[in-house]
Structure 1
Amino acid sequence: MRIAIVTESFLPQVNGVANSVRHVAEQLSRLGHQTLVVAPGPGPTHHLGTPVTRVRSVGLPGYRSFPVGLPDAAVERSLAEFAPDVVHLASPLVVGAAGLRAARRLGVPSVAVYQTDVGGFARYYGVRADLLLDRWIGHLHRRADRTLVPSRASHDQLERLGVRDLHVWRRGVSLDLFEPDRRDPARHAVLSRGGRDLLVGYVGRLAPEKEVRRLAVLSELPGIRLVVVGDGPEREWLGRHLPGAHFTGRLGGSHLATAFATLDVFVHPGRHETFCQTVQEAQASGVPVVAAAAGGPLDLVEHGRTGLLVDPDDPLSLWRAVAAVARDAPLRARLAAAAHEQVQDRSWPRLVHDLVEQHYRAVLVRHRPAAA
Structure 2
Amino acid sequence: MRIAIVTESFPPDVNGVAHSVVRVAEHLVARGHEPLVIAPQPSSGARSVTGAFPYEIIRVPSVATPGYGTFRLGLPSRRLAAALRAHRTDLVHLASPFVLGARGMTVAASLGLPTVAVYQTDVPAYARLYYHSGLGEQAAWRWLRRIHNAADRTLAPSTAAATALHSHGIERVWLWRRGVDAARFDPGRRSEALRRALLGADRTVLVGYVGRLAVEKRVDLLAPVSRIPGVRVVVVGDGPARPALERAMPGAAFLGERRGDQLARLFASLDVFAHTGPFETFGQTVQEALASGVPVVAPAQGGPLDLVDDGRTGILVPPCDALALRDAVAGLAAEPERRQAMGLAARVAVAARSWSAVGDELIRHYTDVLPLSGAAAVPAVSA
Could you tell me the TM-score, scaled by structure 2's length? 0.93
CA positional deviation for 1:314: 3.2
Q: Deviations over 1:25-46 (max 9, x none)?
A: 0111011101100001135455
Summarize the Cα distance change of 1:102–1:307 in structure 2 as closer, same or farther, 3 Å threshold. same
| Correspondence for 1:163 among 170, 173, 176 | 170
Equivalences for 1:175-190 in 2 at 5 Å? 175-190=182-197
| Correspondence for 1:346 among 313, 333, 353 | 353
Partners of 1:86 and 1:108 within 8 A in 2 = yes
Q: Give the total of aligned pairs.
A: 367
- The residue number in structure 2 matching 1:116 is 121
3-state SS in 2 of match to 1:346: coil
Equivalences for 1:288-299 in 2 at 5 Å? 288-299=295-306
| Correspondence for 2:276 among 269, 281, 291 | 269
- The residue number in structure 1 matching 2:55 is 50
Summarize the Cα distance change of 1:46–1:100 in structure 2 as closer, same or farther, 3 Å threshold. farther
3-state SS in 1 of match to 2:224: helix
Partners of 1:45 and 1:54 within 8 A in 2 = no
CA positional deviation for 1:195: 7.3
| Correspondence for 1:329 among 328, 336, 349 | 336
Partners of 2:224 and 2:326 within 8 A in 1 = yes
CA positional deviation for 1:3: 0.6
- The residue number in structure 1 matching 2:255 is 248
Equivalences for 1:1-372 in 2 at 5 Å? 1-42=1-42, 44=49, 46-126=51-131, 128-194=135-201, 196-357=203-364, 359-365=365-371
3-state SS in 2 of match to 1:36: strand
CA positional deviation for 1:268: 0.5
Taking only aligned residues, the RMSD between alpha carbons, in angstroms, comes to 1.5
Provide the rounded CA distance (Å) in 2 between the counterparts of 1:46 and 1:164: 38
Provide the rounded CA distance (Å) in 1 between the counterparts of 2:357 and 2:230: 40
Provide the rounded CA distance (Å) in 2 between the counterparts of 1:178 and 1:229: 15
Partners of 1:109 and 1:367 within 8 A in 2 = no
1:61 maps to amino acid: P
* Structure 2 unmatched ranges of 5 or more: 43-47, 375-383
CA positional deviation for 1:47: 4.2
- The residue number in structure 1 matching 2:380 is none
Could you tell me the TM-score, scaled by structure 1's length? 0.96
Provide the rounded CA distance (Å) in 2 between the counterparts of 1:175 and 1:23: 14
* Structure 1 unmatched ranges of 5 or more: none
